[in-house]
C-alpha cells in the first residue's frame, strides 16, 4: 500500500477496517516511514486500539460527525489515495467526496466541475458484499479500482 502510494505520487493514505491486523501493521509501517495515514474504524473500541499504537488520524464511521472528522483528517494529511476493505455500501464514495471537499479547501480558483486533484480508491476487500454506492460529488479527477 505504501509502495503503491509512492509509485502513484500520493503523499498520504486512507485505510478502512483499520483496526484489523493488517491495519495495525500498516500503521506501524506508516509511523516508521513518516507517512500520514487516515484510519477509518467502526467503533470507539477500535479507535482506541489504533491510538494506543500511535495512530494520529483515526475516524469512527459510526460517529455522528464522521464526515466532518474525515474531511478534517484528509485536509490535515492531504491524503488522496484510499484502500477500502469494506467494498460495498457508501464508504468509498464518502471517502472520495471527503477528498474533494479537502482539496477545495486550498483551491485557488472555483470550477463548477470540481477540483482537478486526482483521488483514487482501491477496493481490496468485500466485508460488505452489497453494491458500492457512489454519489458523484467528487470532482472530475478520480478513480475507483480493485486490488492493491
Which pLDDT does position 3 carry in this prediction?
97
Q: Is the pTM of this model over 0.85?
A: yes
Domain, as residue range, for 87: 2-146
Domain harbouring 48, CATH code? 3.40.50.720
Which pLDDT does position 148 carry in this prediction?
60
Count of structural domains within the chain: 1
How many angstroms separate the CA atoms of 43 and 36, rounded? 21
Average pLDDT, 10 consecutive residues per value, the chain (148 residues): 97 98 98 99 98 98 98 99 97 98 90 92 96 91 87
Please state, as a whole number, how many other Cβ atoms lie within 10 Å of the Cβ of residue 136: 11
Amino acid at each position: 500500500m505504501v509502495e503503491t502510494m509512492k509509485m502513484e505520487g500520493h503523499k498520504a493514505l486512507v485505510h478502512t477496517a483499520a483496526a484489523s491486523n493488517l491495519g495495525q501493521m500498516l500503521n506501524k509501517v506508516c509511523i516508521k516511514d513518516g507517512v500520514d495515514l487516515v484510519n477509518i474504524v467502526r467503533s470507539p473500541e477500535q479507535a482506541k486500539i489504533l491510538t494506543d499504537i500511535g495512530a494520529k488520524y483515526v475516524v469512527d464511521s459510526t460517529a455522528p460527525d464522521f464526515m466532518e472528522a474525515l474531511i478534517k483528517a484528509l485536509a490535515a494529511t492531504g491524503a488522496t489515495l484510499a484502500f477500502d476493505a469494506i467494498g460495498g455500501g457508501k464508504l468509498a464514495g464518502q471517502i472520495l467526496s471527503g477528498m474533494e471537499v479537502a482539496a477545495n479547501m486550498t483551491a485557488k480558483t472555483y470550477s463548477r466541475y470540481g477540483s482537478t486533484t486526482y483521488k483514487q480508491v482501491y477496493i481490496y476487500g468485500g466485508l460488505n458484499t452489497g453494491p458500492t454506492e457512489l454519489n458523484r460529488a467528487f470532482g472530475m479527477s478520480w478513480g475507483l479500482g480493485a486490488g492493491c
